[in-house]
Amino acid sequence: MEDNNTTHFGFKQVPTSEKAKHVAEVFHSVASRYDLMNDLMSMGIHRFWKRFTLHNSNVRRGAKVLDIAGGTGDLTAKFADMVGSKGKVVLADINASMLNVGRDRLTDLGKSGNIEYVQANAETLPFPDNTFDCITIAFGLRNVTDKDKALRSMLRVLKPGGKLMVLEFSQPVSWLTPIYDTYSFKVLPALGKLFTNDAESYRYLAESIRMHPDQTSLKKMMEDAGFERVDFMNMSAGIVALHSGYKF
């Protein structure tokens, strides 16, 4: 049971003021192997989920896009091509290690002219009101301490008519749950130990998915934050959901 002074870190309760530090330690640990982590967690299907997100973003040339918790820059790289030389993509991440990995990777890919890198907390985004045409946060919202505050912050920096897209692990259909649980809590930590010698970080990531609001709950949270026309689309039998909402 949470109170105002504690929150969940995976299945554990920690002081609210310390959650960001604990999450940072996980991502400092996995930053250099983040792409491998995504492949292990999703069996490679995360690429399809991200392509689907990009396709549904409706981003056009000249647009300004904010990719929160952008990690190693999968979405940022594609958005940079979509917005062209007159557009801008900001890759934002609270974790310096992740931001450095993303910058190095995108530089190696020859993508730099229309990309900016900002270390930022999603709860207090350091941008003016009405800045971005599109905001994405992929597999990052579940790690945010105060999700409601973060959603309000995203609404503030989104332009009127702009779109927020939240790609996140969610609640699978009931028949899949036993298989999914076995994979998450038995197989995934073992793979983490085998490939990265870090079972604990992978165990936390599996637990954090279970503590994240389900599809309907997140939809209501977005509506309560002020987003309109909020909807979601399930992928892979609900293992992942793509939520979208607009600012009007």
Nearest-angstrom CA–CA distance, 123 and 105: 26
Per the annotation, does 146 bind a ligand? no
Separation in Å, CA 103 to CA 2, 70, 82: 37, 10, 18
Per the annotation, does 122 bind a ligand? yes
Residues in the chain: 248
Listed in sequence order, the DSSP H helices in the chain are 19-30, 34-42, 46-56, 74-83, 96-108, 147-157, 177-182, 188-196, 199-211, 215-225
Separation in Å, CA 168 to CA 32, 84, 141, 199, 212: 21, 27, 7, 21, 9
State the CB neighbour count (10 A cutoff) for residue 230.
19
Per the annotation, does 72 bind a ligand? yes
Secondary structure of 115-144 in HEC code, one letter for each residue: EEEEECCHHHCCCCCCCEEEEEEECCHHHC
Extract the annotated binding site: 72, 93, 121-122
Task: Mark the binding-site residues for S-adenosyl-L-methionine, compressed into ranges.
Answer: 72, 93, 121-122
